[in-house]
Amino acid sequence: SSLDKQLELAKLDIEIAEKKGESVTELLQLEKDILLEKKKTNDYHTIYLKYFLARTAYAKKVTSDYGSDKNRISEYDDIIKLNAAKFDFDWRLIASVIFQESQYDTSAQSWTGAQGLMQLLRETAAKFGDGNLSDPSFNIYAGCSYLSELQNYWTPKITDKNEALKFALASYNVGLGHVLDATRLAEKFGLDPTIWNNNVELMLKNKAEEKYYNDEVVYYGYCKGSEPVFYVKQVVERYKHYANLIE
């Protein structure tokens, strides 16, 4: 919707201002005004928690130590760079994932039990070691390991690296099974199962509708697919933004 787009643009404006060391007070007020309009919709509480509260908390944490002039994004940059390099990821991509997952809060925990900077479940992280998910080094290592595993799954199936990344990010967020369901739906309904935008992402959104989640090619049932679709968009857009500002 128009308000969703305004909200996305306001978020990006805030990030740009923060990186430049400029005041974000007016921009935060603009974001709040947009959210007041969104309050009239059923999705208000989800949006409020996801954007305004998280954004306000993060804005309070930003200091002059980070920004494009300092060539730094967060206090965890060195750990991110170290682990991203191990798996051939651009460290700014991992920074974008971390922001989307936890806003760089090591104590973050979701209702599903996902923990830490990259919001990992214990059973997922256990595949990559027996560390403390509150420890930034282990959490980022395990998160990069998991994202790499997903990237390696999709790369042989999707030759375009940028496309494969979108599928991997969606799988990181909602689980591989739901994304595979969406590719099967895409193929069945005449879309391209190897293209994310306007193809597989549409079918992932459709998995919230009974007609689709009960389809014979769907093995993992209902999914509120708008959430992973939005997740991919935000991570990719923020990654591009970081890449333009930070070396």
* DSSP three-state, residue 77: helix
216 a catalytic residue: no
Q: Cβ contacts of residue 162 below 8 Å, gap of 6+?
A: none
Written as six digits, the tokens of 202 are 């549409």
Give the dihedral of Cα atoms 214, 215, 220, 222; nearest 10 deg: -40
Angle of CA points 66, 227, 141, to nearest 5°: 50
The Cβ-side half-sphere exposure at 44, using a 13 Å CA radius, reads 11
Question: Which position among 31, 101, 163, 201 bears the catalytic label?
Answer: 101
Known catalytic residues are 101
